[in-house]
Structure 1
Amino acid sequence: MSAETWHSALHRLQGEAAPHVLISVVGAEGSTPREPGAKMVVTAETSHDTLGGGRFEYQAIACARDMLAASARGEQPTTPRLEAFPLGGRSGQCCGGHVSLLFECFAGAEQHIAIFGAGHVAQALVPLLTPLAWRIHWFDSRADAFAALAPSPRVDCRCLDENAITPAIETALESLPHGVHALVMTHDHTQDRRLVDALLNHAGIASIGLIGSQSKWASFQRPLRDAGHDTNALARVRCPIGIPGAGGKRPYEIALAIAAELLTFAPAETHASQRGVTPTTWRQTTGQGVHL
């Protein structure tokens, strides 16, 4: 358990777009460790603050981590959830009260973007993306590429070993989460081609964008075919990148077009008639209907 308060941890984790669950006591009956309004924050690795300790709290933490694991596997939407804890029957605590908990799961980053290259366009693009609830994985083979850039909690900057670039690229790709959108925009066309080749071979890449002109892409296609990539594979690569119809060749103009294109890849929200905790579940869990 961390010594950090729940509100400090919540602010930090929200800023980092890191997965976490906020647990709140929303109902209490009889003798209970904490009163309504008590909260704690749980991540996969640790917990912040307390609901009173004991077996009841361990069970709450386990429920939160089950939610995080299911969300990471894409098996469960991050909708709020109510759980009833009869402290005697469910948690084996002799105080014998009844606690109702609200679990709010925050999946973390809504999208993951991998940017290879820290040139002028990338330096204009990253500040456009960081206010979003996205995680940016930023790579460059130049040791000083990130030296003058302001750090952000949502941006992971990593230097690739230029003397062993092929294994460095493989290591970088293995570190990326499933479903990442990759943008290739390094200072070296040979490195760009190696990256496109590696990305096409790597499972779990949602999309591949290559900066440059149509003639650049045409020059890449023959060596990529020789490397074993067929027409369907090559069709996955977007070059030029940026939303169609956007003009301008200044770095900021290109960055705006790329950011707009990435927004079109965001998953569409679907709204059922009932979302979140149902009224029936609320009544049953809080004891305003069938008492659990």
Structure 2
Amino acid sequence: MGALSWHQALHRLQREAVPHALASVVGAAGSTPREPGAKMVITAEGVHDTLGGGTFEYQVIDAARRALAEDEFGPRLEAFPLGGRSGQCCGGYVHVLIEVFGGAEMTVALFGAGHVGQALVGLLAPLPWRVLWHDSREDAFPAWAADQPRLECHHAPDPTEAVAALPAGCHALVMTHDHGEDRALVDDLLARGDCASLGLIGSDSKWASFKRRLADAGHGPEALARVRCPIGIPGAKGKLPYEIALAVSAELLTLKPETAQPDRRGVAPEVLRDAFSQPKTS
């Protein structure tokens, strides 16, 4: 059992974008361990607060962790006849709403803490995204970055080591202070081949120069076509750092993963109808 109350745990996990589930007793009949309104928070490694203990609670934890492991995010309603499903002698009946949160919607790996990089991180900070911010200079990160949720700042003097440490499926953006470092990063990112997207700041002429050298390094046309340069949503105007950051943020929004089908959101209607029928307690 974790040391945090459910609301303390929920605040911390939401802030840090750690996958978790909130389990709430929403209905009860007969003798039950806790009353409606009782809550607990479950992660893959821990549990915070309690729904009363016993087999029933272990079954709730198991249901939440299976949903987390299978990326089944969103709410689900589970029915627990304590005498039947849970084997508890109190014999009551409990409905539990399990809300599964997947943590960060997407991960952005940003290389470069210059003017555009700082403006971009400021724009991304309120979003439920994880940002891995890298720069080869030790003093590049602003003081305000130290206390931002879901933001990790990494001093990364070796581009190859920094790229090797990235999680698969991240959206990589390269905008360092040095063209040679930019090219080395794009080279290593293309060699990995598992980024969800790859963007490079710069002009068409910069990309033409990079493209020739990257082709000479062995990257084929299909790999090179994955690089977006210049970056930013098409049609955006302006060269101020904040203007560029706005255009890049908008472009990232177009790359967000698709959500669930809009006509089947949350708990299925038939499950809700059954939940409001009178349960048998014996």
After superposition, the C-alpha distances for 1:113-158 in whole angstroms (9 at most, x for unaligned) are 1101111110011010111111111111112222523321121111
Q: Distance in 1 between matches of 2:24 and 2:175?
A: 45
Q: Distance in 1 between matches of 2:29 and 2:93?
A: 5
Counterpart position of 1:4: 4
- Which amino acid is the alignment partner of residue 256 of structure 2? A
Please point out which of 210, 217, 220 is paired with 2:207.
217
Q: Distance in 1 between matches of 2:116 and 2:248?
A: 10
The question of 1:246 aligning with 2:236 is answered yes
Whether the aligned pair in 2 keeps the contact of 1:138 and 1:158 (CA below 8 Å) is yes
> Within 5 A, what are the aligned runs for 1:128-139?
128-139=123-134
2:239 partner SS:
coil
- How many pairs does the alignment contain? 281
After superposition, the C-alpha distances for 1:82-105 in whole angstroms (9 at most, x for unaligned) are 111122222222222221111111
Whether the aligned pair in 2 keeps the contact of 1:81 and 1:276 (CA below 8 Å) is yes
Q: Distance in 2 between matches of 1:88 and 1:259?
A: 53
- Which amino acid is the alignment partner of residue 146 of structure 1? F
Q: Once the 2 structures are TM-superposed, how far is the Cα of residue 168 of structure 1 from its aligned partner?
A: 1.6
After superposition, the C-alpha distances for 1:51-89 in whole angstroms (9 at most, x for unaligned) are 011221111111111111111xxxx3x231111112222
Counterpart position of 2:91: 96
The question of 1:201 aligning with 2:191 is answered yes
- Which amino acid is the alignment partner of residue 153 of structure 2? C
The question of 1:113 aligning with 2:108 is answered yes
Query: Among the aligned pairs, what percent are the same residue?
Result: 63
Please point out which of 206, 226, 230 is paired with 2:220.
230
Whether the aligned pair in 1 keeps the contact of 2:17 and 2:129 (CA below 8 Å) is yes
Q: Once the 2 structures are TM-superposed, how far is the Cα of residue 169 of structure 1 from its aligned partner?
A: 2.4
Counterpart position of 1:58: 58
Counterpart position of 1:82: 77
- Which amino acid is the alignment partner of residue 157 of structure 1? C
Whether the aligned pair in 2 keeps the contact of 1:100 and 1:286 (CA below 8 Å) is no
Counterpart position of 2:150: 154
The question of 1:180 aligning with 2:170 is answered yes
Whether the aligned pair in 1 keeps the contact of 2:74 and 2:266 (CA below 8 Å) is yes
Whether the aligned pair in 2 keeps the contact of 1:79 and 1:104 (CA below 8 Å) is yes
After superposition, the C-alpha distances for 1:166-219 in whole angstroms (9 at most, x for unaligned) are 54224322xx2x431110011121211111111112243111000111111111
Q: Distance in 1 between matches of 2:188 and 2:45?
A: 31
Whether the aligned pair in 1 keeps the contact of 2:81 and 2:281 (CA below 8 Å) is no
Q: Once the 2 structures are TM-superposed, how far is the Cα of residue 289 of structure 1 from its aligned partner?
A: 7.0
Q: Distance in 2 between matches of 1:54 and 1:155?
A: 38
In structure 2, the CA distance between the partners of 1:237 and 1:290, relative to structure 1 (3 Å rule), is: farther
Whether the aligned pair in 2 keeps the contact of 1:283 and 1:290 (CA below 8 Å) is no
- Which amino acid is the alignment partner of residue 84 of structure 2? G
Whether the aligned pair in 1 keeps the contact of 2:207 and 2:229 (CA below 8 Å) is yes
Q: Distance in 2 between matches of 1:236 and 1:278?
A: 39
1:190 partner SS:
helix
2:109 partner SS:
strand
Whether the aligned pair in 2 keeps the contact of 1:207 and 1:237 (CA below 8 Å) is yes
TM-score, normalising length: structure 1? 0.89
Q: Distance in 2 between matches of 1:253 and 1:247?
A: 8
Q: Distance in 1 between matches of 2:223 and 2:30?
A: 63
The question of 1:169 aligning with 2:171 is answered no
The question of 1:255 aligning with 2:251 is answered no
Q: Distance in 2 between matches of 1:132 and 1:24?
A: 26
1:80 partner SS:
strand
Whether the aligned pair in 1 keeps the contact of 2:92 and 2:281 (CA below 8 Å) is no
Please point out which of 118, 121, 124 is paired with 1:126.
121
RMSD across aligned positions (CA): 2.0
Q: Distance in 2 between matches of 1:269 and 1:67?
A: 16
